Amino acid sequence: LNYPTARFLISAPTLALCPEDTGAEIAFAGRSNAGKSSAINALTQQNSLARTSRTPGRTQLINFFTVANDSALRLVDLPGYGYAKVPEAVKLEWQHHLSEYLRERYSLRGLVLLMDVRHPLTEFDQMMLGFADQRNMPVHILLTKADKLKNGAAKNALQQVRSRLREWEDLVSVQLFSSLKRDGVDTLSRRLDQWFAP
């Protein structure tokens, strides 16, 4: 699919207010600051489709984008999680919305999980993997900001994450990604194409 055709569709604060649960959706999730907005912008070749470095802590929304002018093909930007300064009650509320979306959204075909290559597989990341596992949904992990490491170190990080996820290798794939260098965009596009394919 031609991801640069992506357009903003709607924002929803809860699962109940999301667009009709038909067609196919691919969601992007990650710790706040993992590089999710930058990755969506790199994929869609748009500088401000997903807002980078949102002020964390204010109400966050689930943002929907259409692909190829087809509202049955959607990319979904989930709220970033794990921002330390958010009050506990807000964190729990967001955890609830996220888990509800991930567990119950019928049209969800796959989850792109973003992790800073220098800090992969946090407790929250593992919780997301758990939700995906519960419903047998595939996950594609982007190890982001790969440009921050030397080549060898980045490859090492990739191998380590792969070996830690060996028990899930049927459902989980992992790649290095750099929005800054636009490295890994093609691999990501191919993965999304596979998931969107009927």
Q: Which residues contact 164 (CB under 8 A, 6 or more apart)?
A: 121
Total length of the chain? 198
CB of 54 to ligand GDP, least distance (A): 7
Closest CB to ligand GDP among residues 44, 178 = 178
CB of 35 to ligand GDP, least distance (A): 3
Q: Which is nearer to ligand GDP, 34 or 112 (CB)?
A: 34
Contact residues toward ligand GDP (CB under 6 A) are 30, 32-38, 52-53, 80, 144-145, 147-148, 178-180
- Between 71 and 187, name the residue whose CB sits nearer to ligand GDP: 187
Q: Please report how close the Cβ of residue 56 comes to ligand GDP at its closest, in angstroms.
A: 8
The smaller minimum CB distance to ligand GDP, of residues 31 and 135, is found at 31
How far apart CA 20 and CA 85 sit, in angstroms, is 33
Q: Do residues 115 and 122 touch, judged by C-beta distance below 8 A?
A: yes
Beta carbon nearer to ligand GDP, 167 or 186:
186
Q: How far is the CB of 91 from ligand GDP (least distance, A)?
A: 15
SS3 at position 166:
helix
Residue 26: strand pairing partners: 75, 110
CB of 161 to ligand GDP, least distance (A): 17
